[in-house]
Amino acid sequence: MIVRNAIAGIGIYLPDRVMPNMELADMVDTSDVWIKERTGISQRHIAAEGQTTSDLGYRAALAALDDAGLEPSDIDLIVCATSTPDLTFPATATIIQERLGIHHGAAFDLQAVCSGFLYGVNVTDALLKAGGPKRALLIGAETFSRILDWEDRGTCVLFGDGAGAVVIERSDDAESDAPGILHSYIRSDGRYRDMLYVDGGPSQTQTVGHLRMQGNAVFKHAVTEIAQVMRDCAEQAGVPIEDIDWFVPHQANQRILQAVAKKLKIDPDTVISTVAMHANTSSASVPLAMHQAIQDGRIERGDMVMLEAFGGGFTWGAALLRY
């Protein structure tokens, strides 16, 4: 018997407000040209005043349920990957659970910064395979606009708000070529935690803090580790990289996407990019990009897809699935 967990539905939510690069040029010493040339970003969405991470995650979850043709009552696990929770506790996942009217099963948050969705795929896949829950909502939701230093041009131009969600469903009698998560592989190395961090938190400062990053150093590590984890994940799954139809990367910088594709000799046309429209939405960026490529007809049912991400910690990871 093959147990395989497949993506039954996907949904997203982006706040209405769009902030183009030009608006940032009025706030800090930057320009539309610099941001586009160095990152590929043209605009980002910003949550309205009072709009929280759970608001975005809830709407993405509803859209994913609708896409799967399921009701909230069908879900018995909610995993919310976020580094910008509504509150220190309770978990944003439980707030979303309550708003969905789900009173059974379990809900918890997972914090692996920009790799949160990939960590979520790994953990959700394992929990479903272990035989407890049957259908999970995996949500990546962020309001990074709340932890940016809007006077630091090195970081405030890079991030945006948004949410993406998938319904992951267990199938106990799947065929070997059935849709499903084939393999996932997650990594971290805390030696590099000072290169990308938030300078506040309940225990150390009793404040929320602001995002700090050594951009250039992060860039170099990101390219090396992403390429390696993609190679490792494919090898562990026994699938040659050439057999993968689409690559859905974390959307931090277009130049990172290009450098990784070059390193792995991947056709750049198979790498999904939404960084221009969304900027870096941390744990939401992979489902946002995947949703875009499904909507525009590139990713189709049966395609082999690799997801990957890299973020603070450092954390990183990759997952291979048949959609």
Which residue has the closest beta carbon to ligand UT7? 215
Give the helix/strand (H/E) hosting 253.
Answer: none
Active site residue 114: yes
Residue in 181, 218, 248, 319 binding ligand UT7, rule: CB under 6 A: 218
Distance CA 318, CA 115 (A): 9
Stretch binding ligand UT7 (CB under 6 A), from 9-17, 32-40, 179-187, 270-278: 32-40
Q: Which residues contact 142 (CB under 8 A, 6 or more apart)?
A: 53, 56, 82, 83, 84, 161, 162, 163, 281, 282, 283, 284
157 in contact with ligand UT7 (CB under 6 A):
yes
Residue in 191, 216, 240, 297 binding ligand UT7, rule: CB under 6 A: 216
State which of positions 64-103 bind ligand UT7 (CB under 6 A): none
Taking the least distance from each CB to ligand UT7, the nearer of 180 and 313 is: 313
Residues binding ligand UT7: number (CB under 6 A): 21
Taking the least distance from each CB to ligand UT7, the nearer of 77 and 198 is: 198
CB 276 within 8 A of CB 254: yes
Residue in 185, 219, 247, 316 binding ligand UT7, rule: CB under 6 A: 219
Give the helix/strand (H/E) hosting 60.
Answer: helix 53-68
> What torsion do the CA atoms of 25, 220, 280, 143 make, to the nearest 10 degrees?
-100
36 in contact with ligand UT7 (CB under 6 A):
no
Residue in 90, 154, 200, 209 binding ligand UT7, rule: CB under 6 A: 154
With CA atoms as reference, report the closest residue to 276 among 301, 251, 295, 297. 251
Distance CA 284, CA 140 (A): 4
Stretch binding ligand UT7 (CB under 6 A), from 103-111, 123-131, 168-176, 212-220: 212-220
Report the DSSP pairing between strands 4-13 and 161-171: antiparallel
Taking the least distance from each CB to ligand UT7, the nearer of 136 and 279 is: 279
The catalytic position among 114, 233, 253, 291 is 114
280 in contact with ligand UT7 (CB under 6 A):
yes
Active site residue 291: no
Taking the least distance from each CB to ligand UT7, the nearer of 119 and 219 is: 219
DSSP structural state of residue 147: G
State which of positions 100-139 bind ligand UT7 (CB under 6 A): 114
145 in contact with ligand UT7 (CB under 6 A):
no
The catalytic position among 45, 183, 210, 250 is 250
253 in contact with ligand UT7 (CB under 6 A):
yes
Distance CA 261, CA 270 (A): 9
Helix (H, G, I), strand (E, B) or coil at 59: helix
Stretch binding ligand UT7 (CB under 6 A), from 3-11, 35-43, 61-69, 171-179: 35-43
Distance CA 283, CA 313 (A): 14
Residue given tokens 């131009």 in the structure block: 157
Distance CA 232, CA 128 (A): 23
Active site residues: 114, 250, 280
By the criterion CB under 6 A, which residues form the site for ligand UT7? 30, 34-35, 38-39, 114, 153-154, 157-158, 215-216, 218-219, 222, 252-253, 256, 280, 310-311
